[in-house]
Amino acid sequence: NLALHEAMEFSRIRQFAALGELAAGIAHEIRNPLNAIRLNLHALERLFAKVNGQGPFDAAAVVGEANREIDRLEGLMRGMLDYARPERALNEELDVRHELRTALDFIQPVLEAAKVELRTDLGAAAVRVHFDRNRLRQILLNLVNNARDAVGPGGRISVSLKRHQERAVVIVEDNGPGIPPGERERVFDPFYST
């Protein structure tokens, strides 16, 4: 029974590896035509801006919007590639308190525009850890953006930093509706979202 379970688990891991390779291949193939389309749209945008920047149909604005959608697709492809081939962590000695403060200062205007209150309790002393600076910021910004979407206008997000023995503990809380019990098992599934 244990051997069967291990064989099934190994098969599942191989399937995920194959899926990752397939995703990377597809992402690569999609990026090439996207780049060609982007270059052509940039040329059209410059041409339209010279010829017809005014009037009821602003061709330059339409081309600009198409470029923004290509940028969005590029971001999705980058996410798929990162999932299929995660980069090595660039761990370094850093002050978690400083990194949290910097990231929260960056996202504060977005929260204010969404009418979401941000409360912080980061303490006064530096909290040093060995971690990847960019990944820490990405994790925090993802959590705060998800919390912002969950609470909506008038909501509240709290970010706190605590020391627990030799560890730094970052807590992101919000006063939104929470995740329904039936959905909780899926929150770590790739690309899962409500």
Q: Which residues lie below 8 Å from residue 45, measured CB to CB, with a gap of 6+?
A: 60, 63, 64, 67
pTM listed for this prediction: 0.57
Q: Which tens digits make up the pLDDT trace of 171-188?
A: 999 999 888 888 888 777
Q: Which tens digits make up the pLDDT trace of 21-68?
A: 777 777 767 776 777 777 777 777 777 777 665 555 566 676 777 777
Q: How many C-beta atoms surround the C-beta of residue 93 within 10 A? A: 8
Q: How many C-beta atoms surround the C-beta of residue 63 within 10 A? A: 20
Whole-angstrom distance, CA of residue 117 vs CA of residue 152: 10
